[in-house]
Amino acid sequence: MGGALVPRRCIACQTPLHNKRPGLGRFVCASCMPMIDHREAVRCKRCALALGPRLQAFGWTHCRHCKPLVEHLECAPLECVVCSDYVAPFDQWIALLKYGNNHGLARFLGDWLGTRVLELGMDLPDVLVPLPVSPDKLKLRGYNQAALIARHLGRRIQRPVHTHWLTKTRELGAQAALGRDDRLRNLNNAFRATLCVPKGIRIGLVDDVITTGATIQSCSAALRKAGAESILTMAVCRTPE
């Protein structure tokens, strides 16, 4: 009941936020704002890996992993947007949400991601589909952090969230210990769409962090199998190379 009376604190430095401020100022104080309101890196259009100055100078729009795939049409088109690289302090914020049950952070992270997508003027998705976690993990943790982010992102960009469109069909084992190719093999058919995606629907696939992009690709493949034609991947952070 009294929750609304407690002054909110800056997500980054914990200073109480007294004044009503617009936009992301509801979560972050003025002195911490540059940290999240920075000019974003130019990123690979397919996997959101930051493109260094050399690649930018050559006019590359995709990273060295995605460029050959896109050029040889070996992959279905995939678009990706993130707020930032997966570095401090954002990695700690995501850990607090993931393991610390800090739902206030989900509000901020979803709002941040929505703000970024609107700023970039991207084609908005019609529906949001969070990356699923396995039933065992859901039982253990009590919530799916990607679904929480999706809910607040959905409020920001006014789109519905469908948590059951995708399910995880099996546990993946120690994915982090595997190399790039093994990861992709391991992920084959790990996800399944639970319905036929209605024609013409653009899906926003939502996750907290993109590591190699292999999980996202596996989810996208499952959605495409179910008829999805247009998918935008949206994540708060991207692990740098």
For 189, the token pair is 């058919």
List 17, 27, 43, 46, residue binding Zn ion (CB under 5 A): 46
Output the smallest distance, CB 63 to Zn ion, in A: 3
Out of 17, 29, 81, 146, the residue judged to bind Zn ion by CB under 5 A = 29
- Structural tokens at position 237: 């952070």
13 scored as a contact of Zn ion (CB under 5 A): yes
* Cβ proximity to Zn ion, 159 vs 238, nearer residue: 238
Q: Which stretch binds Zn ion (CB under 5 A): 30-38, 125-133, 159-167, 224-232?
A: 30-38
Among 27, 36, 43, 44, binds Zn ion (CB under 5 A): 44
Strand pairing class (191-193; 8-9): unpaired
**Residue range at the interface with Zn ion (CB under 5 A); choices 10-18, 129-137, 190-198, 203-211:** 10-18
Shortest distance (Å) from residue 79 CB to Zn ion: 11
Output the smallest distance, CB 216 to Zn ion, in A.
11
Both ends of the chain: CA-CA distance in Å?
Answer: 45
Which 60-79 positions form the footprint of Zn ion (CB under 5 A)? Answer: 63, 66
Rounded Cα distance between 65 and 132, Å, is 26
State the Cα–Cα distance between residues 33 and 27, nearest whole angstrom: 9
Smallest gap from residue 235 Cβ to Zn ion (A)? 13
Report which of 208, 200, 225 is spatially closest to residue 76, judged by C-alpha positions. Answer: 225
Nearest to 74 by CA among 85, 61, 63, 65: 65
Long-range contacts at 8-11 (CB < 8 A, ≥ 24 apart): 11/93, 11/104, 11/105, 11/108
Residue 143 C-beta: closest distance to Zn ion, Å: 26
DSSP type of residue 3: G
Q: Retrieve residue 76's tokens.
A: 């279905």
Helix (H) or strand (E) holding 57: helix 53-57
Q: Which amino acid is present at 185?
A: R
Of these, 9, 25, 26, 32, which contacts Zn ion (CB under 5 A)? 32
Q: Do 164 and 194 touch, CB atoms closer than 8 A? A: yes
82 binds Zn ion (CB under 5 A): no
Q: CB-wise, 61 or 175, nearer to Zn ion?
A: 61
**Contact string (CB under 5 A) for Zn ion, positions 97-126, x = contact:** ------------------------------
Does 47 help bind Zn ion (rule: CB under 5 A)? yes
CB closer to Zn ion out of 12 and 209 = 12
Binding site for Zn ion (CB under 5 A): 10, 12-13, 15, 29, 32, 44, 46-47, 49, 63, 66
